[in-house]
Amino acid sequence: MKIATGATALLTAASWNVAGLLVHTAPTATIDGGIVVGTTTRVPGATAVVNKFLGIPFAEAPLGTGRFSVPRPTSWTGSIDTKAFKPACMQAFRPIDDRDFIQDVFSIPRPEESEDCLYLNVFAPKKTWKKSLRKSRYPVLYWIYGGGFSFGNAGQPIYDGSHLAALEDVIVVSVNYRTNVFGFPIAPDITNLTERNLGLLDQRAGLTWVQRNIKVFGGDSKRVTIFGQSAGAYSVDVLLTAPWPNGPPFHAGIMESGTYSYNPLPNCNDTDFSSWTVLLNRLGCDNATSTFDCMKKTPASDIRYAQEKYNIGFGMAGDNVTIVCDPRLRREAGMFAHVPVIGGSAVQDGSYYAAKNGTDIDRYFNTIFPGEAALKEKILDAYKLDPSEGRFDNMSILTQIHTDWNFHCVGALSKVGDNE
């Protein structure tokens, strides 16, 4: 799907390039948790100066016995410096044999990691700052990063919101959230299904923080757009289709290369603890008196490494609170957030699959469409694929097939609905 030029500017993470930024004096802000001290930056070619507050705590650090706990509000005495990005939440680049490939493809060198990671960043035009009581406040863009709910962080240089804030007259907020087992501990010891979706709760806690505090930075809490890419776009769709008894804390959504509505949870019950069981075994916690306490006491780096080495993945718990089990049914019933939405995808999203798995056509169809011989022939004909051609002859076409199937088609369905 093609996206209008204006929307593309919002969705293209590369446009957040930070090269050549000029730093000025430090601004301060008093929010409900305490006082924060940031930095001021000028973007070349922009008239607006940008106030940057990097690493604002929006929840207590989930450390020690707080591991696997829901996000809780935090506060501090005096002021804290918010002048540099904080560490990423614990990452899991898996399987371990693909770790370097994943980091190279997504330009994500392993960042500094910590369980103390629940921080967000605010990028606000300074002209807004001087007129924080003005009647006309600035809209807010709330960024949710991707990474397959296994890795990713808001502190990547390409996610610096200074350019968007300076050139588009918006306030940008980017938030860290927990991923892999640290964010989605599907464990029998956690009987409340919602408390297994910590990563989704982190995203929600950040949105709640925006509603409480963005006015201080000159933002309009009634004009918040949630936007994200890949798993971030999936998260946007999850938020759009989730129930909000008091109304959603956002007013528009942008999804790039990801959707949940037509890729629902394959298993929406609370009995599949296989990943947790395997992880317990690999970490030697399976025979502990309390396996859950053992997991809380195990070094975070050991847990991360076990996930990567043994390719142990963790998904979400369908609780019908933070994530609904069947979003398609909710859409058909009109039970979703009725807000403006832009959906689209990157031009060659499927190139990652082709680069990782090769372009053997028979292997591709046996993996993606097993037992669908007739469908295979139709696709081969439509895309003019020739199984006898070499790897590089079919590279671009197979990339396009995977892009269309996994991104473009579901995006189009989300846009037009089931009856059009």
Q: For the residues of 49-90, what is the DSSP string, one character each?
A: EEEEEEEEE-S----GGGTT--------SSEEE-BSPPPBPP
- 8 A C-beta contact, residue 317 and residue 193: yes
- CA 371 vs CA 291, 358, 376: distances in Å: 42, 20, 9
pLDDT at 136: 78
Which pLDDT value is given to residue 175? Answer: 98
Query: Domains of the chain (ranges plus CATH)?
Result: 5-346 (3.40.50.1820), 353-416 (no CATH)
β-pairing verdict for 171-175 and 138-144 = parallel
* Contact between 351 and 385 (Cβ < 8 Å): no
Say how many Å lie between the first and final Cα of the chain, rounded. Answer: 17
Using CA atoms, how far apart are residues 85 and 91, in angstroms rounded to an integer?
A: 16
Structure confidence at residue 9 (pLDDT): 41
What type of residue sits at position 334?
A: G
Given this model, what pLDDT does residue 119 score? 99
How many helices (H) and strands (E) in the chain? 16, 12
Distances (CA, A) of 399 to 350, 392, 393: 5, 11, 11
pLDDT of residue 382: 80
pLDDT value for 376: 78
- CB-based contacts of 252, cutoff 8 Å, min separation 6: 223, 224, 225, 226, 339, 340, 341, 342
Contact between 384 and 229 (Cβ < 8 Å): no
pLDDT of residue 85: 96
State residue 348's pLDDT score.
65
Calculate the dihedral angle through the C-alpha atoms of 283, 286, 288, 289, rounding to the nearest 10 degrees: 150
pLDDT at residue 387 in the model: 57
**Which parts of 145-208 are beta strand (E)?**
171-175
| Residue 6, pLDDT score | 41
Mean pLDDT by 10 residues, the chain (420 residues): 40 43 74 96 88 98 97 96 97 87 70 96 79 72 95 92 94 98 96 95 98 97 96 94 95 87 67 93 96 98 97 92 89 91 75 60 73 80 64 65 66 49
pLDDT score, position 369: 74
Please give the biggest Cα pair distance in the chain.
69
Give me the pLDDT at residue 100, please.
Answer: 80
